[in-house]
Chain A
Amino acid sequence: MARDFFVAGECMVTVKGGVNTGIAALSQLGLSSEQVRVTPSFKHKPMNVDAWGGESGPPVDVQVMLASVQVQIILIHFDPAILDICVQESMGGAPSIGTTARAGARLGNSLPRFAAGNHYIGLNLASPVGNKPWRFFYAYLSEPPIAWPLGTEKSAVTTNWTAIPYTQDPWNGGLGAYGAQLWDYNQDN
């Protein structure tokens, strides 16, 4: 592939959730006022040896302890009803907007993607120019989930998402987290 400027293009944000939710079908959430920021967070664990300076020295090697991704989207032209559903699902399937689920409610509940009771959201970022869309399989609004300014001016709602490599079975037939899905360059349909 040749070296070049990369232009993703207009980034339409779409979401898809559980079959029993209002976003069971792929739904447009909206457009961002500025660039959508995708920030992977890799977890590494140092392996220190006394001969290499112990805890104070550099590690001899590091272990990879998986990763998560943070996505920040500042929505300016969006569907508030779809955003409400995303908020409810991110709260563990709250019965209505502004209420809470039970304390300790799980998002995945050991269920497959999009099954009723699995509250993770498929977060899709379009890339019509660069042709490199992003799909985060298991995303949810995290802290702070939204920041909604209210006034005479148009609201630009800041949303913060976290995507994790959710799995139904951490043992995975002896493979552990090998191949666990965090993101890919396709879109839900």
Chain B
Amino acid sequence: MVRDFQIPGEILVSVKGNGALHKFLEPNVAGLYELGLASEGIRITPTLYHRDIHADDFGPDVPAAVMWNAAECTITMNLIHFDRLTLERCIRESMGGATDYGTLAPTGTMMDNGLPLFFSGNHYISLNLAPASQVNPDSYRFPCSYLTGRPVEYPLSTEKSIARLIWRAVPLHTPGFVYEIMSGSILAIKAQNFPNTASGNTEITSSGSILWTRELDTQDE
């Protein structure tokens, strides 16, 4: 590949989750929905974590070794031409699968509930950034995302609203376990096989976890 200006082109933001994103509220239908177009560039900011390991021989400031400690990603976008209903559903899912817009799920609700992605009860959203293929075929998909922090800034006025979104993407792992929770704390993690889990993995492992990928989601049939 030669050195050149990199121009991704027009980016369409699409989302896929469990059936809660479905416009007709069919809980087991995980569809792919257009969220919208941004008013300016979409910013992808990976955060790589490392941990220093000190030895007295190296002194207090310089590490003797460095440990890799996984990563996450922040995606910020200002949506100007968007589907408001799909955005509201993304906010609900990011709030732990709230039953209605502006309500809360119980505090301590797990985002995945030990379930595979797109299963009813797994509230992660797969965030797709699809470029116009005529310009640049490189796409981004963050399979395990949610709106975080101050997720939406939504101005209300006579002028067009620009929804300022902050997404957090964490590594995706295929769970084969369920959480036993009481009073907001995890008491136990129990292994459980899911017939639809291809690997049958029953452990939480970071090895090979996907933070982002170039392959976009497709519409379920």
- Flag the segment in A17-25, A35-43, A169-177 that touches B: A169-177
Whether B5 contacts A174 by the Cβ 8 Å rule is no
Decide if A61 is an interface residue (CB 8 Å cutoff).
yes
Is A104 part of the contact surface with B, judged by Cβ < 8 Å? Answer: yes
- In the complex, the answer to whether A171 meets B134 with C-beta atoms within 8 Å is no
Is the C-beta of A3 less than 8 angstroms from some C-beta in chain B? no
Contact of B37 among A61, A104, A170, A175 (CB under 8 A): A170
Check A171 against B37 for contact (C-beta < 8 Å). Answer: yes
* In the complex, A47 has a CB within 8 A of chain B: yes
Chain B residues at the A interface, C-beta cutoff of 8 Å: 5, 7, 9-10, 12, 34, 37, 81, 130, 132-134, 157-160
The size bracket of the interface on A is 10 to 19
Q: How many A-B residue pairs have CB under 8 A?
A: 29
A103 touches B81 (CB 8 A): no
| A104 to B12 Cα, complex, angstroms | 25
- The answer to whether A174 touches B10, judged by C-beta atoms less than 8 angstroms apart, is yes
Question: When the two chains form their complex, are residues B132 and A170 in contact, meaning their CB atoms are under 8 A apart?
Answer: no
12 of the cross-chain contacts (CB-CB < 8 Å) are: A47-B5, A61-B5, A63-B7, A102-B158, A104-B158, A170-B81, A171-B37, A171-B81, A174-B132, A174-B133, A175-B134, A178-B134
User: Within the assembled complex, what's the spacing in Å between the Cα atoms of A25 and B81?
Assistant: 32
- Identify the closest chain A residue to B133 (Cβ): A174
Give the complex CA separation of A176 and B131 in angstroms: 10
Distance (whole angstroms) from the CB of B125 to the closest CB of chain A = 20
Instruction: Name the prevailing secondary structure of the B interface residues.
Output: loop
Contacting pair A171 B12 (CB below 8 A): yes
Q: How far is the CA of A63 from the CA of B9 in the complex (A)?
A: 11
| Contact between chains at A174 and B158 (CB < 8 Å) | no
With A103-B158, A104-B157, A171-B37 known as contacts, the answer to whether A176 contacts B5 (CB < 8 A) is no
Residues of A close to B130: CB separation below 8 A = 174
- Contacts of A57-114 to chain B: CB distance below 8 A: 61, 63, 102-104
B9 neighbours in A (Cβ, 8 Å)? 176
Q: CB within 8 Å of B: which of A138-189?
A: 170-171, 174-176, 178
B-chain residues with CB within 8 Å of residue A170 when the two chains form the complex: 10, 37, 81
* B159 nearest CB neighbor, chain A only: A104
Nearest-neighbour CB distance to chain A for B27, whole angstroms, equals: 29
Residues of A within 8 A of B158 (CB): 102-104
Most chain B Cβ neighbours within 10 Å, of A170, A174, A175 = A174
Q: Within the complex, what minimum Cβ distance (angstroms) separates B15 from chain A? A: 15
- State A178–B134 Cα separation when bound (angstroms): 10
